Structure 1
Amino acid sequence: MVKKVLIVYAHQSSGSFNAAAKDTAVKALTAQGCKVEVSDLYAMKFKATATAEDITGEVKNAEHFRYAEETKRAWEEGKLSADITEEQRKVTEADLIVFQFPMYWFTVPAIMKGWFDRVLTLGFAYSHDKRYSCGIFKDKKVILSFTTGSHESMFSANGINGDMNVTLWPLQNGILHYCGFQVLAPQIFWAPSHIPSEARKTLLDAWRTRLQGLLGEEPLSFIPLDSFDGQGFQLKPEIHEKHATKEFGLMVGIHLGKPIPPNNQMKAGV
């Protein structure tokens, strides 16, 4: 069965390293027999703001507009705007989604954040009962592939930018895992604008090599939803007790007041 891949790409320049990384992924995955679609957000002039314009026809409560509730109803009734509906089609069909972007202010560019805000609507991407390990997209894989403006050492536990694992937690846990995706370890291109062209070629070669087995990679591990109680969503006492004597906390965000486990958001199986 042909695997389908969606690359959500956010860079303004076709001459950028991000463009080269995107093109490398398209070629490598296509060569494996995958069907690859690219959402080039800047070329599409994708709207970043989540507004009532995302709904065709009248909203239920214009005076107190609540985006999540209104778009859920619109999704159920087939009244979401065409650009959202098209991206949701791509997500539904994809076995793997690659987000390719330059890191802006420790997160994704605004146009990509807008994609998250507008495409991953309530009902379509998550619900109260379907999130985290019980999420809607638990059969799909996803990866963040991005460039930084700073060298790797600056994103360390002792570096001025802080631990990259901490930086990644809101994106990988709060958006992707929240919707149930199997999150693969990120592909990070450290400061490509500050290294020689030959070194940039080496980075792309490593990405090309990784792409050969990307669909078969084990995802990062997250704590299952059933490890939390159903009311306050706190870790169950038995889980807490099991880890009481361990050196590190469970995860970056759920660390039990202990040191953060090394590479928790960077490598599978650690």
Structure 2
Amino acid sequence: MGCINSVKPVAKSVLIVFAHQSSNSFNAAAKDVAVKELEKQGWTVTVSDLYAMEFKATATQQDIKGKLKNAEQFRYGDEIAAAWEAKTLSDDIAEEQRKITEAELIIFQFPLYWFSVPAIMKGWFDRVFTGGFAFSLQKMYDNGSFKHKKAMLSFTTGAMESMFLPDGINGDMNVTLWPLQNGILHFCGFQVLAPQIFWSPAHCPEPVRVAMLQNWEQRLKGLMTETPLKFASSELFDMSFQGGFRLRPDVVMERETQPHGITTGHHIGKPLPPNNQLKAPPEGTTGTN
């Protein structure tokens, strides 16, 4: 049997999953600021430098050391979940899962590639967040495996901030972040902290880049006291196959008089709640989870 307690965090432990090819990049500088500041606060900081590790991004049969359940009709999700249960995952996956198990906080540091994470980081999610370890039908979203842990995205963009506004050419950044923050992090139960976005540092003068890093350092001083982003509670849904895991009709009816949808994804045909994926609601306001 898999270890039931495998996702309980060790106090004051941080994992930074870092995806950039260059140690001289702005992303590397942001990572270094986080390491230095968090260690100053007494945290144990572990860095998974994915490019330096030459982390394998593709999900294949090589991820399983033991015998396959069905070698003739290979289904990665089924096989990898069974391998987690049997403790026969490849060594690199098992090591990353160990780091997650020990971490109270995970920071993902990366440049935004094609409105998402770099392929090597996507491969990390694909291979490391295995069924059983990171999620199950019974353990997902606010009932998820990692509900006692916090996670956040910290990333750079190539485009300026105005290009990611609701009327900007790239579209609303809240929509861009929904698959990452809700579909991966919140799905696995993480308390998701507001993202740290470094807008277009490659096109900014040096003083602006320095100020960006100083602001990041300052934020890190109080990071763990921040209110997480708000997502729709599982209690709002009919959590059954018969109900299709959809919002309950009474919930939809109650929202008819509200000016906005519940979240960026659960908009129910209404305007999106402002900055739902960028800022936590003010203290004292009623959240959705």
Q: TM-score, normalised by structure 2?
A: 0.92
The match for 1:248 among 256, 260, 285 is 260
Partner amino acid, structure 1, of 2:247: L
The answer to whether residue 215 in structure 2 is matched with residue 206 in structure 1 is yes
Tell me the distance in 2 between the aligned counterparts of 1:63 and 1:175.
Answer: 30
Q: 1:65-76 counterparts in 2 under 5 A?
A: 65-76=74-85
Unaligned runs of 5+ in 1: none
* Residues 165-199 of structure 1, C-alpha deviations (whole Å, 9 max, x = no match): 00000000000000000000000000000000110
The match for 2:193 among 184, 208, 228 is 184
Unaligned runs of 5+ in 2: 1-9, 283-289
Show the counterpart of 2:128: 119
Note the C-alpha offset of 1:57: 2.6
Note the C-alpha offset of 1:216: 1.4
Aligned positions, number = 270
The match for 2:276 among 254, 264, 267 is 264
Tell me the distance in 1 between the aligned counterparts of 2:116 and 2:162.
Answer: 18
Tell me the distance in 1 between the aligned counterparts of 2:120 and 2:157.
Answer: 17
Tell me the distance in 1 between the aligned counterparts of 2:180 and 2:165.
Answer: 18
Partner amino acid, structure 2, of 1:148: T
Tell me the distance in 1 between the aligned counterparts of 2:81 and 2:38.
Answer: 33
Q: Which runs of 4+ in 1 moved over 3 A?
A: none
Q: 1:1-270 counterparts in 2 under 5 A?
A: 2-231=11-240, 232-269=244-281
* Residues 199-240 of structure 1, C-alpha deviations (whole Å, 9 max, x = no match): 000000000000001111110011111110023111112211
Structure 2 contact 11–103 (Cα < 8 Å) conserved: no
Structure 1 contact 2–33 (Cα < 8 Å) conserved: no
Partner amino acid, structure 1, of 2:43: C
Tell me the distance in 2 between the aligned counterparts of 1:230 and 1:3.
Answer: 34
Partner amino acid, structure 1, of 2:64: I
Show the counterpart of 2:6: none
- RMSD after superposition: 0.9
Tell me the distance in 2 between the aligned counterparts of 1:158 and 1:64.
Answer: 47
Tell me the distance in 1 between the aligned counterparts of 2:137 and 2:182.
Answer: 16
Note the C-alpha offset of 1:242: 1.6
Give the SS at the match of 2:51. Answer: coil
Structure 1 contact 5–35 (Cα < 8 Å) conserved: yes
Give the SS at the match of 1:143. Answer: strand
Tell me the distance in 1 between the aligned counterparts of 2:179 and 2:117.
Answer: 11
Give the SS at the match of 2:168. Answer: coil
Give the SS at the match of 1:20. Answer: helix
Note the C-alpha offset of 1:2: 4.5
Partner amino acid, structure 1, of 2:237: F
Tell me the distance in 2 between the aligned counterparts of 1:160 and 1:262.
Answer: 18
